[in-house]
Chain A
């Protein structure tokens, strides 16, 4: 059986789940909701696996399955089509696989919600997964954009899931508005692309034989730079890079599994996917690549410094996501496309693990998220502790866990491009190790700092929560082994070989000056030693934290307040905009538009009151007026000729 013909089921199943749960929310039981919500994703995952195995075969060529004409206007033809190739099949696996585990976890984590809300929650989750699948499956930028908007909408719905809380609603609105800013750039990029190339289909643009971009000879043309920069603006919004990153930490307002879904499997990886998909276009515009690399690196460092001083367990993880996304963009910017996609995959494993672990902790603590009030949980929550520990090892980049290989690959390519960027990137990696082990030590070591009630409540979470944790921990351990660099093992980079057809054209253009194996060994050795030292230091520094709070000073204080970026945006954008709106409301609206509308109404009322007097009911006066009218007509006639 040809599994690729079943591709439509992959997004269709979550859509069905969304409809069933959404429409039947009043009648379905909580159990049924959880089962339906998870089962549809499991179904998608199984089909994705079948497709993946088919794609892996030697003689596979990328396939486009077209369903119907979506837009057919003038010279623009965009069909509703899915593209199955190495990149999309890999993303399908990540989204449905990690997504399924998060669904299972949610069913248990959200058990305190009532049945209607739970059904609403699961229908949103399914819609989220559906949008993301549409995004990665789309065979042109327009279908991709539909999914792109879909994930934006679902993130809004899910962040504001507890919509009775105003600050959560504000967080949801913030996420939506920030995304809109990026989406505008993306949309303009698509328009420009249509104007320049006359097509938005990946096949028309990028296929090796006669793709429009592939046969371009000129690199770095102004149009290409413009288009790629606009697309990158979209990626900045969706993937939370400077300057549009502030929505992601606020998105912690949503339920914890939602955070895991947004941060690991869906949404934020959309930007990476889009650029990886358009890799050839970016390769042809080296100036944009530099911008991408610099913004990525700046975000990686910037977010990592903020994460050092956060005390909310989810906030630390949120900033670490922003930072890791920065690494992925750094990878894309220096041409390490495989490395970036590899990091998306490993990051999906360990970040989902960390978030779900954090959720398990929060669950056990009865909703407490402040690290200063935790501590000593390692003895009471064995499985959570061990899996969380593995997640920390993986994200910090300690061999042989998943994060080591992917981060190392990105940094190695960065070094070959520019050693300075490498050093800054390595600094970011050290910061990552520090804040992760600080988090780990604060939450699980030392003595318990919460209330008595919480102490009695602390317990290991049930199976539906620990099962995803264990699965993801397993993946975080072995996930990196698909991408072992050449220096350790011949043909060790199985992922790179798998993805090579997608990036072949770019790699042919990018002049890769290989660094020698000796240098690479040295770099890996130094970075690993430094990371381990920093981790141990952070661990020792924080494991005996007693709950003392000292007022932070100087730089610490700035970091604790997230470099005052939110305040800055508030001052330069939100407040002026608000006063402008108030001005418009009070002056333009009240005394301008309202006055015109009311004035028209009043003058008509007045005029008709006057004209009404003419209609007296006296037949004589009517005739007189008629005569006068006829006379006037006669006079006009006389002078007109």
Chain B
């Protein structure tokens, strides 16, 4: 399969993520959109890794799986980040009974 389909998919996912993050007011959905963007980039990374490294994997076997490994690292970090973010949102909901981000800009005063 050509690389461009991977790129299209990744860009579509990323744009959905941006659109969601910009338009939605619910903090949880914004959070999900951010994760979507992150994972679309992950997808692209894996795709490029597959494309570029298949040729040189014969010469440098050690490099062949590097990008896939990175993706796992990113996922682990993202999982940690999600747990922190969700915890914040839960605490926020307990205090304000709302997850609307427009309601949260009160903090600036």
Contacts and interface: CB of A to CB of B under 8 A. Distances in A.
Interface of A: 616-620, 623-624, 627
Given A618-B105, A627-B22, 7 more contacts: A616-B105, A617-B105, A620-B25, A623-B18, A623-B22, A624-B22, A627-B18
A410 to B, nearest CB: 91
8 contacts: A617-B105, A618-B105, A619-B104, A619-B105, A620-B21, A623-B18, A623-B21, A627-B18
Interface string B19-32: 00111010000000
A162 to B, nearest CB: 65
A619 B18 CA distance: 13
**For the complex of A and B, 3 pairs with smallest distance between CB atoms:** A617-B108, A617-B105, A624-B22
Contacts of A616: 105
A627 B18 CA distance: 8
Interface of B: 18, 21-23, 25, 101-102, 104-105, 107-108
A614 to B, nearest CB: 13
Give the one of A616, A618, A619 with max B CB within 10 A. Answer: A619
Nearest to A630: B18
A618 B23 CA distance: 12
A254 B23 CA distance: 86
A620 B108 contact: no
A627 B23 CA distance: 13
B-side interface mostly: helix
Nearest to B107: A617
A403 to B, nearest CB: 92
A617 B104 CA distance: 9
Contacts, number: 21
A618 B103 CA distance: 10
Contacts of A617: 105, 107-108
Contacts of B101: 619-620
B22 A618 contact: no
A618 B102 CA distance: 7
Nearest to B15: A627
B12 to A, nearest CB: 16
Contacts of B22: 620, 623-624, 627
Contacts of B107: 617
A572 B40 CA distance: 85
Nearest to A627: B18
A627 B14 CA distance: 12
Contacts of A619: 101, 104-105
Nearest to B19: A627
Contacts of A624: 22
A618 B105 CA distance: 6
Contacts of A618: 102, 105
A426 B7 CA distance: 112
A407 B70 CA distance: 107
A617 B105 CA distance: 6
B58 to A, nearest CB: 32
A631 to B, nearest CB: 10
A616 B25 CA distance: 16
Nearest to A620: B22
A609 B102 CA distance: 23
A154 B79 CA distance: 83
Nearest to A621: B22
A113 B45 CA distance: 94
Contacts of B25: 620
A627 B22 CA distance: 9
A68 to B, nearest CB: 66
Contacts of A623: 18, 21-22
Nearest to B101: A619
A186 B75 CA distance: 83
Nearest to A624: B22
A624 B21 CA distance: 9
Contacts of B23: 620
A623 B25 CA distance: 13
A623 B33 CA distance: 13
B69 to A, nearest CB: 28
Contacts of B18: 623, 627
A624 to B, nearest CB: 5
A509 B51 CA distance: 100
Give the one of A616, A618, A620, A623 with max B CB within 10 A. Answer: A620
A638 to B, nearest CB: 15
B78 to A, nearest CB: 18
A624 B19 CA distance: 9
B16 to A, nearest CB: 13
A617 B102 CA distance: 9
A326 B21 CA distance: 95
A618 B22 CA distance: 11
Nearest to B105: A617
A243 B57 CA distance: 97
B77 to A, nearest CB: 21
B14 to A, nearest CB: 11
A623 B20 CA distance: 11
A624 B24 CA distance: 12
A623 B22 CA distance: 7
A619 B105 CA distance: 8
Nearest to A619: B101
A616 B101 CA distance: 13
Contacts of B104: 619
B76 to A, nearest CB: 25
Nearest to B109: A617
A620 B22 CA distance: 5
B66 to A, nearest CB: 26
A616 B106 CA distance: 11
Contacts of B21: 620, 623
Nearest to B108: A617
A349 B107 CA distance: 90
A627 to B, nearest CB: 6
Contacts of A627: 18, 22
A94 B25 CA distance: 98
A620 B105 CA distance: 11
Contacts of A620: 21-23, 25, 101-102
A166 B12 CA distance: 86
A623 B21 CA distance: 8
A408 B101 CA distance: 107
A619 B104 CA distance: 9
A377 to B, nearest CB: 90
B37 to A, nearest CB: 11
Contacts of B102: 618, 620
A615 to B, nearest CB: 9
A496 to B, nearest CB: 95
